[in-house]
Amino acid sequence: MAYLREPVPAVPQPRSCGECTDRSGPWLFTRSGGAAADGPTGAVLFGRDGALLQAVARNGDPAMVHPMAGVRAALAVLRGAGVAPGVLSNQPGVARGLIGRGQVEAVQARAEEMLGPFDVWAVCPHGPHDGCLCRPPAPALAAAACRALGLPPSRVTVIGCSDSVIAAALAAGAHAIRVPEAAGPVAGPCPPCTLTVCRVADGPEQAADLALRR
């Protein structure tokens, strides 16, 4: 299924898991013929907003897609090492009727035009009161991405800038690295203090290096 009405030849088109009418489950988009099919050495999942892309609230406009500084270099390092890249995305604007599935997919397509293909996009389309199992800090979103890649969580690292994404990764049994949402060094351990096993990096490039050296 193409993200846009007119396919973009340079971007491999992810496949949808279906319309995901089950309110407890995420939307999953996987790429056929990607690193996952060849047996990746591991995977790194980026939080979409603030870690991979500049955070824009309820963004459904591809024109507003801008990668975070250092993301392109980080992805080049990871792909060169045989690591499958993926994305975790929490989109409560869908549940509120502010954006639709097509807009979410259009943003993903634009990100792939700019940054290259990702092996999985895992999206929680629910709001805070929907009672789903995939909205971070619950672990189901990260766990579903791991299953889609055919990898145990122990071989997956999540790079994120929010407490909820970091907590979701750790709860799923994955590794976690926290990066700042805005440009600038990380001042100290990631809050809250209970996330003591979370490593910190000053940006995506350092986070990618840490993910490969664990």
Q: Where are the domains of the chain?
A: 15-213
Question: C-alpha distances in angstroms, 108 versus 2, 15, 28, 191, 206?
Answer: 11, 12, 12, 29, 24
Mean per-residue pLDDT for 191-210? 78
- 135-192 pLDDT, tens per residue? 999 999 999 999 999 999 999 999 999 999 999 999 999 999 999 976 444 444 444 4
Which residues, at least 6 apart from 127, have a Cβ–Cβ distance to it below 8 Å?
92, 95, 96, 135
Residue with tokens 């490039």: 205
Q: What percent of the chain has pLDDT over 90?
A: 70
Confidence of residue 2 (pLDDT cuts 50, 70, 90): very low
Query: 3-class SS at 94?
Result: helix
Phi, psi of 24 (to 5 degrees): -90, -5
Q: Is the pLDDT of residue 9 over 50?
A: no
Closest CA relative to residue 43, chosen from 55, 53, 54, 31: 31
pLDDT of residue 116: 97
pLDDT of residue 57: 86
Q: Is the pLDDT of residue 83 over 90?
A: yes
- 51-76 pLDDT, tens per residue? 999 998 889 999 999 999 999 999 99
The Cα–Cα gap between 209 and 214 comes to: 9
- Identify the weakest region by mean pLDDT among 85-89, 142-146, 190-194, 204-208: 190-194
pLDDT of residue 40: 78
The Cα–Cα gap between 89 and 92 comes to: 10
pLDDT of residue 139: 96
Question: C-alpha distances in angstroms, 182 versus 52, 118, 164?
Answer: 11, 23, 17
Confidence of residue 39 (pLDDT cuts 50, 70, 90): low
pLDDT of residue 38: 53
Helix, strand, coil tally for the chain in percent (to 5): 35, 20, 50
Kindly report the average pLDDT of the chain as a whole number.
83
pLDDT of residue 175: 96
15-213 fold: Rossmann fold (3.40.50)
Q: What percent of the chain has pLDDT over 70?
A: 78
- Does the pTM of the predicted model rise above 0.85? no
Residue with tokens 């990380």: 186
